[in-house]
Structure 1
C-alpha cells in the first residue's frame, strides 16, 4: 500500500500544472533537475512502468505526455534547454501548412515550404501529409520560424538543404534531412522583398552562419556532401538535441577556422543525441567557444568522436562512448594540428562519462577552471541513464490524439 501511494504521488508530481499543463514552462535548467530527480528516485526500474511519460529526458517530458500535442504545438517552444533555450521559433505566430513539395527558389508559391520560411512574420510551419521535398537551392530561413514535422514523415533530401544565415530564433524539429547536395551559382530568395546571388554552397544538412538562438531537435540526419550540422561565423546560443545521426564522415563543425575570432562567443549545447552507425569524425569538432556535450550516446566512430583546435572549452559530461574494435582508434578526443605544448592548456574535461571497449578521453587544462561554469548549460544525468534518455533520438512517430 505504501509503495502504491508513493507511486501515485510521484505520478501526480510529474503531471503537475507547473510542468505539463502550464503555457509557460519554468526555467529549463530547473526542469532538468526536478523532473529527472523525480523519475530516477523511483525505487526500481520496474516502477517506471507505471508512469505515463517518465523518460528522464527533460525536453520530451516537457511536451510528449500531452495527447493534445497537435492542438498545443507551440508549447514545444517552452521546452528547449541549454544554450539554445531562448529559441522561440515561430511562437505566437500563425500556423502555416505546407501543402505541396514544389520548390521555386526565387518566386515560391503559397503552400510550399520555401514560401513559409522566407516570410517576415513569425510562423509555425507544419505539414499536411507525408512528403519528400527536393529543394532546387538552399532553403534560406527568415527569423522567428519553426519547422515542425510532427504528425508527418517529412524528408528534405536529394538537393541543397537548410541554411540559417544571419537570422535568429529558429526551431527545426522532427525532420529527416539527408543526401544533401551543393547548390548555388543561382538567385535565391530569403525574404518577400529580397533575393540575391548565392555562390556554391557546401552541401550541409543544416548550415548555421552567423545565426543565434537556434534549436535543432528530434531530427534524423545522414549522408550529406559536407557536414550534417555546421555552425560558423559568430553563431551562438545553440542547442542540438535528441537527433539521430548516421552514415556520414564529417558530422558536425562548430567554428569556421582557427583565425575566425568571432567564434570565441559561440556557445553550443549538444545533448541527448545518438551518434550512430557509419560515422567517422567530428561529433563535434570545435573551435574557440564553449561547448557542453552532455548525455549523448556514441555507438560508432572510425577516427574520433570529439575534436577541436584554437583553445575551445569542452565540457563532456555523462556521455556513453563505445570505442570501435580497431585498436588504433580508441581515443575519444583529437586535437587538430596543434602541439601538446599548446593544447595541454585547453580546458577539456570528462566528468562521469562511460568509456567502453577501451575508449579513453584525453583531458587537459585546469580541472576546476571557471571556464566549465560558462560551458555548462544544464545538469547532466549519470551516464548509466543514457540508453533510456536517447532511445527515442531522431524523428518521432506522432499520431494526433495520442501521446507522441
Structure 2
C-alpha cells in the first residue's frame, strides 16, 4: 500500500506525468466534496453520478493527443487547399462557411429539416460529441424560470433535466433569465438556430458529472451569482446547492462537450470554466467580448485530476474588452488553433502546473500598451521549471509587437509536412476562418 501511494504522488512533469496519474485516478474513484462543485449535500445519487462521470472521462482520454491535433490541421489544410474560402466562391455558392466545422452543415439550406446533421460535425478533442442526436426534439415555448424544483413543461429547465437524450430547440426569439444556475443532464443539445436566444440577467449553464452535451448558437451574457438552494438536477433528484459563481458555462467532471457558435460577454466570473477531470472538449466558432477572466481550463495547481483534460480551442474570435485567460490552462493538453485575438489587456494564453499548449495558425494582435505585448504568461513557477513545459507556436501571426515565448521540447512532427504543407502562414487565414464566429442569424430554407 505504501508503495502504491508513493507511486501515485511521485509524479513527474510533461507526458510521463499523464501516464503516472491515470492509474492512480482509476484506482481511487472515491469522489470528495470540492467547494467549486457548489454541492451542499453530496448524497448517494450524486456520488454515483460522479463516479460514473470520472470513469467516462478516463475512457475519453486519448493517450496520443498529437493524432487529434494532426487530424484537425489536416482538415483545415484540405479546406484551404481546396480554394473554397475566397470571397468570390462564397458569393457564387451562397455558402458562408469558412472553416471545416461550418462546412459540414452551414451550406445546406435545409438545415432546419435535418438539425441533427450538426452532431456529425464536431472536430478536435470533442469530435465524438453527439448531444441529443439519439433523442426526440423538445421545443422550448416558455422563457420563464420561476420554479427551480418543479420546472414547468415547455421551459428550458424542464427540458434540461430530462433523463433521455433530447435535441432542444426554441419556438421563437426569447430572453431566458434563469432564477438559478441551470443544471443540464447528459445527452442534450441546446440548439438556438432559427431564433435569437439569450441566456441573460440571471444564472448560467452548469454541466456537472455529465457526458455528451452540445451548446450551439445562443447568446450568454450578464450572468450573475446565484444564491443556491434546493435545485432540481434530474427528474429523480433535487439537491441542495451552495452559491454559484456566475460563470456563463461551467463544466465540472464532465466529458464529450462541444460549445459552438456561442456569443459570450459580461459574466460575473468566467465565461467558460472546465475543471475537475473534464475532458474531450471542443470550443469552436465562439465570439468573446467585454470580460476579464475568459476561459479557465483546470481548477487549480493542486487538482491533478485535470491531467486528463484535453481541449481544442478553434476558430474563435477573442474580441474587444478582454483582459486575460484566452485560455488559462493547467495540467492537460490544449490545442489552440486558428483563433483571432485582438488587443488583450494583460495576456492571451496562460497557465501553470506544466500544461502542454500547442498554438497553431492563430493571429495575435497586441494592444498599444508596451507592457502587454507578450501572448503568454506562466504562473507560480521559476523559469528553470517552466522552461520544461511544452508551449509551442507554429504558423502563428504576430501583429503590433505581439510575441509568444516558447518553451519545452519542439513538436516531433509538424502537421504542415508533406501532403498538408501549406504555401502560406496559416495564421494569415485566421480572420476568414473566424469570420462568422458567434451566434448566427439562421433562417429556414437558407444557408446559415
Task: Return the alpha-carbon distance in structure 2 between the equivalents of residues 29 and 362 of structure 1.
Answer: 22
Paired residues for 1:280-359 under 5 Å? 280-359=323-402
Question: Which residue of 2 is the match for residue 251 of structure 1?
Answer: 294
Deviations 1:215-255 (A, max 9, x none): 00000000001000000000000000000000000101000
Task: Return the alpha-carbon distance in structure 2 between the equivalents of residues 316 and 71 of structure 1.
Answer: 37
Task: Return the alpha-carbon distance in structure 1 between the equivalents of residues 178 and 312 of structure 2.
Answer: 29
Question: Which residue of 1 is the match for residue 427 of structure 2?
Answer: 383
Deviations 1:180-231 (A, max 9, x none): 0111431111110101000111110000000100000000000001000000
Deviations 1:307-361 (A, max 9, x none): 0000000000000000000001100000012111110000000001000000010
Is the Cα–Cα contact under 8 Å of residues 74 and 92 in structure 1 kept in the other structure? Answer: no
RMSD: 2.0
1:138 deviates by: 0.7
Task: Return the alpha-carbon distance in structure 2 between the equivalents of residues 210 and 369 of structure 1.
Answer: 31
Task: Return the alpha-carbon distance in structure 2 between the equivalents of residues 119 and 179 of structure 1.
Answer: 26
Question: Which residue of 1 is the match for residue 263 of structure 2?
Answer: 220
The aligned length equals 371
Deviations 1:248-278 (A, max 9, x none): 0010100000010110000000000000000
Question: Which residue of 1 is the match for residue 438 of structure 2?
Answer: 394
| TM-score (normalised: structure 1) | 0.88
Question: Which residue of 1 is the match for residue 136 of structure 2?
Answer: 94
SS at match of 1:158: strand
173 and 122 in structure 1: CA distance in 2 versus 1, 3 angstrom threshold: same
For structure 1, the 5+ residue unaligned runs are: 1-26
SS at match of 2:100: coil
Task: Return the alpha-carbon distance in structure 2 between the equivalents of residues 246 and 379 of structure 1.
Answer: 33
The higher-RCO structure (CA 8 Å, 6+ apart) is 2
Is the Cα–Cα contact under 8 Å of residues 55 and 388 in structure 1 kept in the other structure? Answer: no
For structure 2, the 5+ residue unaligned runs are: 1-70
Is the Cα–Cα contact under 8 Å of residues 96 and 106 in structure 2 kept in the other structure? Answer: no
SS at match of 1:197: strand
| TM-score (normalised: structure 2) | 0.80
Is the Cα–Cα contact under 8 Å of residues 28 and 79 in structure 1 kept in the other structure? Answer: no
SS at match of 2:230: strand
1:384 deviates by: 1.2
Task: Return the alpha-carbon distance in structure 1 between the equivalents of residues 75 and 366 of structure 2.
Answer: 32
